Structure 1
């Protein structure tokens, strides 16, 4: 079902997305390997009023349902028409110019896509600071999410040569969430690529960047652009 058919002016974020994000943020921000997952889409499709807590599902299953929701949309949340622009903006060497170019592009998204994208990126921005425990740095989150949000054609050899650039775009949105969506300042970041999760569970991954979190997420108050 198209994204536009799943939202209203009063409810600009799909109910499944809202329920999954609330569950994850309430119970699972410190779950190791949070976005390495299962699926609960079918039970939710059968009952939209389902209480995820009462199902006794794991937070990983809820995270899987969130990713599956975007994978099953007829069109990607980040529209194909903007992929070339995002790729060109990602190549800009000056950081400030680069970020402003990305911001101009995301502001051109359809209001429905913009609201849901802002909601998801804000959620991922909340997950990242707990990376010492959940191992989900901004880099690791972007690896998990960019194929779901952009839905690339992996059979296209030309596209395969730019996959790292597209991943870096999603990582930048996560790191600079406040700048893109909340009129915040640009955050100073490093270009260090996060290592894969350690084989020893006791070993911790250092954060990619310190992030100042936006105010508590209240999807019912988000208005279409």
Structure 2
């Protein structure tokens, strides 16, 4: 009888979690706000602030310009400008190493197009590939894919005709995540995820992971959600690819999460918790997302 009560309690918690996740997702995760990336700028000729409409005085460093959208304002005015940056594709020089939200807004997509394109290719021809994501492709070929995305954007050709080894595509996707200036699991949320991973009770740990997920910026949340759905498909082919959630956690833990502290000791200490977080996200993607 006691076992049945515990079981009912767990199901009730998970049902509650699903309902809350759906509500919170609808409320918070389609408003892709982005702060401006202001840098001090020297303007040639007369210039007016695009926030207060007053003249910018001086000969040098008269104001600041957003390097993503080109908005020109006084330095003091920049503190009051709303988070409404709309990046201009002409100003976004790269796909890799570009802030995730900036890339998403520049291309007007829910997720970085490189993630969508790579995952489509992997699911089309690689889900049964042994050691998928664990086996590495040739570094120079992965760099070729990176350059193709940087050069051609969504027109980059990563088909089997050009790259027959699927491990090159998985390597390019992992490299994209590693090259992000702010990881998919952001520096702000990293310590909260690590603390959640340390909770011994499985139900409470799941609740804690869900609560931290809701703190991710919308573009990061959506990218993580899409990736976890994909990785769940990878585990469904485990009998062919030999990649379960734990194995994928080992691969993607340090790929998606980086400690804000630049400390080798911290990194080594956190590795098992990084693995566990990704494992939990994969195994519970239908509940957490």
Normalization by structure 2: what TM-score? Answer: 0.59
Residue 212 of structure 2 corresponds to residue 114 of structure 1? no
User: 1:51 corresponds to which residue?
Assistant: 157
Report the equivalent of 1:223: none
Q: Could you list the runs of 5+ residues in structure 1 that have no partner in the other structure?
A: 182-225
- 1:101 pairs with 2:198: no
Is this contact kept in 1: 2:190–2:258, CA < 8 A?
Answer: no
CA contact (8 A) 1:86 1:169 kept: yes
Cα contact 2:131–2:243 (8 A) shared by 1? yes
Considering only aligned residues, what root-mean-square deviation do their CA atoms show, in Å? 1.7
* Aligned-residue offset at 1:10: 4.7
Pick from 269, 274, 281 the counterpart of residue 161 of structure 1: 269
Unaligned ranges ≥5, structure 2: 1-97
Shift in CA distance, 143/154, structure 1 to aligned 2, threshold 3 Å? farther
Whole-Å Cα distance in 2 between the matches of residues 112 and 72 of structure 1? 16
CA distance in 1, matches of 2:191, 2:112: 27
Aligned to 2:102: 5
Q: How many residues end up aligned between the 2 structures?
A: 181
CA distance in 1, matches of 2:195, 2:180: 26
Indicate the residue corresponding to 2:147 in structure 1. 42
Q: In 2, Cα distance between the equivalents of 1:154 and 1:143?
A: 20
Match of 1:176 in 2: 284
What CA distance in whole angstroms lies between the structure 1 residues aligned with 2:211 and 2:164? 39
Q: TM-score normalised to the size of structure 1?
A: 0.75
Does the Cα contact within 8 Å between 1:71 and 1:151 map onto a contact in 2?
no
Deviations 1:156-203 (A, max 9, x none): 31442232122111111011110101xxxxxxxxxxxxxxxxxxxxxx
Q: Aligned pair in 2 of structure 1 residues 56, 82: CA closer, same or farther (>3 Å)?
A: closer
Rg bigger for which structure?
2
1:147: which partner in 2?
Answer: 254
Stretch of structure 1 that moved more, 82-91 or 172-181: 82-91
2:63 aligned residue = none
What secondary structure is seen at the aligned counterpart in 2 of 1:55? coil
Say yes or no: does 1:133 pair with 2:240: yes
1:83 and 1:56 map into 2 onto residues whose CA distance is 35
**Does the Cα contact within 8 Å between 2:185 and 2:257 map onto a contact in 1?**
yes
For the residue of structure 1 that corresponds to 2:189, the secondary structure is helix
